[in-house]
Amino acid sequence: MLWVGGAAGGRVVSRREDIPERATGTRDDPAGTSQDFAELRGTTQNMENTVNHTSLSGRTAVVTGAASGMGAATARLLAAHGARVALLARREDRLKELAAEIERDGGRAIAVAVDVTDQASVDAGAARVHAELGAADLVVNAAGVMLPNPIDDGRADEWTRMIDTNVTGALRIIRAFTADLVAAAARGATADLVNISSIGAHALFPGYAVYAATKAALTHLSASLRTEFGPRDVRVTNIEPGLTDTELASHVDNPALGEEGRLGEMFDALGSLSADEIADLVAYVTSRPRHVNLRQIVVLPTRQA
């Protein structure tokens, strides 16, 4: 999952042989190195301008799953780049702590306790966002739950929870803020919907069938929504992270599949991405010029096939 806060566009010149050769020089600088380094300074400045995410300043973002992991990291980074952020999740105490942290750092955030599996809760949360921050122009669906178990176990309770959170929950948030995104784009502003899916939408892991199905649904939903939103200048980005160090693994109640079993073995063998690295990617895609839509991104630890 990963574009890590480095160069976007241009190139990093770190070795002398990488610096373009000059055909001419001057008596004081026969090799033309002053021109080379002038070009290098210009390239570096352009790169810095690109990664400053200045286009995020003044935007209004809604981030679900903001109590921890990718959601919290994304909210923190968007706020650091000048966006007003509505923090949505069930654990209000954590949201208040994060909002206070953001405010201390000079940002603007509100904590909005929302259960995405409950339509009334989503409606109330959206009303509060509108009342306190106004219309949203950036929505990140980062809420999710991963509860793997063999299909033979028949854990209908887990199936329902994953479908309600990972699919229907995302749809409830999209429903709540579609009008905002469309209106923002219509007045010429940048409008973004970012869905955090998973490499599980494509990769096959025993015991993860229902989780994978929900993420495949979210990935396909994102693709289909582009046919509806794209013509109205609303961007839709689907991000599929691989192994990432978040709380999801701690929710697994099957020792053979969780941190003490297969999942832990994968982390040990392949390494993992961090929530901050996924946040960095979200900030990057949403800070591109409004006519540029990075629509589908798969990001993995280098060792993960």
For the annotated catalytic residues, the residue numbers are: 211
Rounded Cα distance between 301 and 220, Å, is 23
| Of the candidates 52, 81, 70, 50, the residue with the CA atom closest to the CA atom of residue 195 | 70
Helix (H, G, I), strand (E, B) or coil at 79: helix
For residues 69 and 295, what is the distance between their CA atoms, to the nearest angstrom?
22
Q: If you search the block for the tokens 């409004």, which residue do you land on?
A: 290
Instruction: Name 237's bridge partners.
Output: 194
Give the contacts of 71 (CB within 8 A, at least 6 positions apart).
63, 64, 65, 89, 140, 142, 143
Query: Which of the 8 DSSP states describes residue 260?
Result: T
Quote the distance between the C-alpha of residue 237 and its chain's center. 9
Phi, psi of 279 (to 5 degrees): -60, -40
